[in-house]
Structure 1
């Protein structure tokens, strides 16, 4: 299939999705913007992928949306990349984008990471801008951390906001979060998400914050790499 045909297919699929389901800006191979993203760019991975070595590795991106970070991993040398998302129209569009970008090592599946993807594992799992307010209030932060860990044999990449204000950020009533998470992570009117994640994964994983120290004061979410012990 030639590039013009693929480009028309992508444009049509993007139009069908509408702006609310496009999280990162989508570009044509030449750089022209096909759809503006509605997410926070700084919540994603930096262009150098935080210095993580993807060369020759297998990667899974949980909650991949249209595959922005899947394509970045492939361009940084990943041998195989699987993006999973629960929206079949999104994964169909992402598949068309992979063809447009001529990245055959990138595939997409419609799946729920919490119910598993057939026991498959990868060198690296990524969960970029997934664990946030909605996941926290559903009491699912631990479940998503566990799911990412089950998929990875050696490394995980997460972006997460380290601390949430119960009143300003989560807008939850007093005592609500204590029913979902251990009380030691809820103090001074805040939920300490990064601390919770480090504790949850501590038995099997060590962690390094990859966000440069100079950026820690103003980044909305931090990039954290977990390495299996």
Structure 2
């Protein structure tokens, strides 16, 4: 049973859609499902579905993620992204969707379930046409993630509990889509109050001294921010 809302005699349904992002093999990846039912049967789409009666919106998002992909509720960061209500966005009728953005560490390969015929992590650069208006929702989610990496420590949501500065730099490079100067990045990360805290451990291997491990610090905002260069990607040095 779906949530049906009536306004001025017109009935519409409420849905949730999820932009789920991770970094896999140095690439920003998006969780997609192949629809197993009409409309857009066989097309790739964002995970999501209709909200059930008496169900809170975040609970609906977590349920749809688990039902369609086999992944439990996000272990990283989850926030409401935006609401999409263009009248013709869904051929089944008037549907208003509340979209959520999830930033997750690398997770196992998802397993399709519910009304999804397949589920997989897809590199952002390789995504083509999507069902409904999901291309717009995805674009909004990616831009939100890119912007929040500038002024919050949310890049750590893509990392395990302990990580190196090099691994954190890989997150920024993957999400922003451009290489960063390693020395400048290390200096800014370790010099920003509350961004990261050393754990006392280190990763051995490779040449030179072992890389120190860190965890997320207590800061909610970064001062100064990690501003990205919106011009030539090759010129971006953070």
| TM-score, normalised by the number of residues in structure 1 | 0.31
Could you say which structure has the greater relative contact order, defined with CA pairs below 8 angstroms and 6 or more residues apart?
Answer: 2
Larger radius of gyration: 2
> Hey, which of these two has a bigger chunk of helix by percent?
1
